[in-house]
Amino acid sequence: MSLEVRTAVIPAAGLGTRFLPATKAQPKEMLPVVDKPAIQYVIEEAVKAGIDDILVITGRGKRSLEDHFDRSFELEQQLADSGKDEILAEVKAIAELADIHYVRQGQALGLGHAVSVARKHVGDRPFAVMLGDDIMVDDAKVLKGMMATYSQYGRSVVALREVAKEEISSYGCATPERIHDTLVRILDIVEKPAPEVAPSNLAVMGRYVFTPEIFAAIDETEPGVGGEIQLTDAIALLMREQAVYGFTFTEGRYDIGKKLDYLRATVELACLREDLGPDFRAFLRQFVAEMDEA
């Protein structure tokens, strides 16, 4: 089996109900964070990690995802005629990020089912799974670390981060055996446990590197929480056949499926921009001062 991960699968078939009505007619993955759609951050992260083959799992009403990463000749010509060379180069670069493919899930039967749709594209190769709700602004450090771990052990790797005990019921949760500072062996994994029975506060984040054996595990997975095929349950089955590791991290992640995190990502990333940061930070200082006086 190859120890080089060159393919990423991005499930993007969800309905985005937490952001209605904004997502009634546009994919949640296309919601802008400053001036870039969320899914572009994810694909750029994959490219930074050395991945050049990307499969996006889509559904009905998601055509704008494909249009965004395609060429737009009329727009390019208009920008060229207007002498807007810098933005023209940026627009062209979007279509050249990687080899991006698309397949429809058909029915929203859970994350495990969404990943299974990638089977024919992935074949017998290792691959990454990157959730479109999770933006990582760490220069792909976590994903690179996970891929390096896979190269070393030849086994699946799951991204983990500590969360507050009361939040663990929103995530998959791992029972860890510490190997070193950023690596654990996962002894058990459960989906959305109640805080009082959670085996730890290490939550599964939206980054995975899988051996192709995960597909057989998904085939054996019964519907779980919410009546869906849970990827966490498939990982638990995979662990009966081979080791699964957890790569732990602390910073750089935004869950933009949550409104508060979406706003935080927009504000913090805007503050870090050289073109926007100084003026925006000045505005925020004035705004906070005015709110404190109100």
Q: Are 104 and 217 in contact (CB under 8 A)?
A: no
Which of the residues in the chain have pLDDT under 70? 1-2, 294
Give the alpha-carbon dihedral of 8, 11, 16, 18, to 10 degrees.
-70
pLDDT at position 227, please? Answer: 79
**Fold of the domain built from segment(s) 7-257:** Spore Coat Polysaccharide Biosynthesis Protein SpsA; Chain A (3.90.550)
CA 157 to CA 154: how far, in whole Å?
Answer: 9
Map out the domains of the chain as residue ranges: 7-257
Give the alpha-carbon dihedral of 217, 222, 224, 227, to 10 degrees.
130
Please name which of 152, 128, 132, 159 lies closest in space to residue 68, comparing C-alpha atoms.
Answer: 132
Q: Which residue has the tokens 């572009």?
A: 40
pLDDT tens figures, 145-202 = 999 999 999 999 999 999 998 899 988 899 999 998 899 999 999 888 999 989 899 9
E-only strand ranges, the chain: 7-11, 32-33, 36-37, 53-58, 99-104, 127-130, 134-136, 156-162, 172-180, 183-191, 202-210, 244-248, 253-255
Q: Give me the percent of the chain exceeding a pLDDT of 70.
A: 99
pLDDT at position 133, please? Answer: 85
Residue 278: helix, strand or coil by DSSP? helix
Distances in whole angstroms, Cα of residue 15 to Cα of each of 19, 20, 108, 168, 285? 9, 9, 9, 23, 36
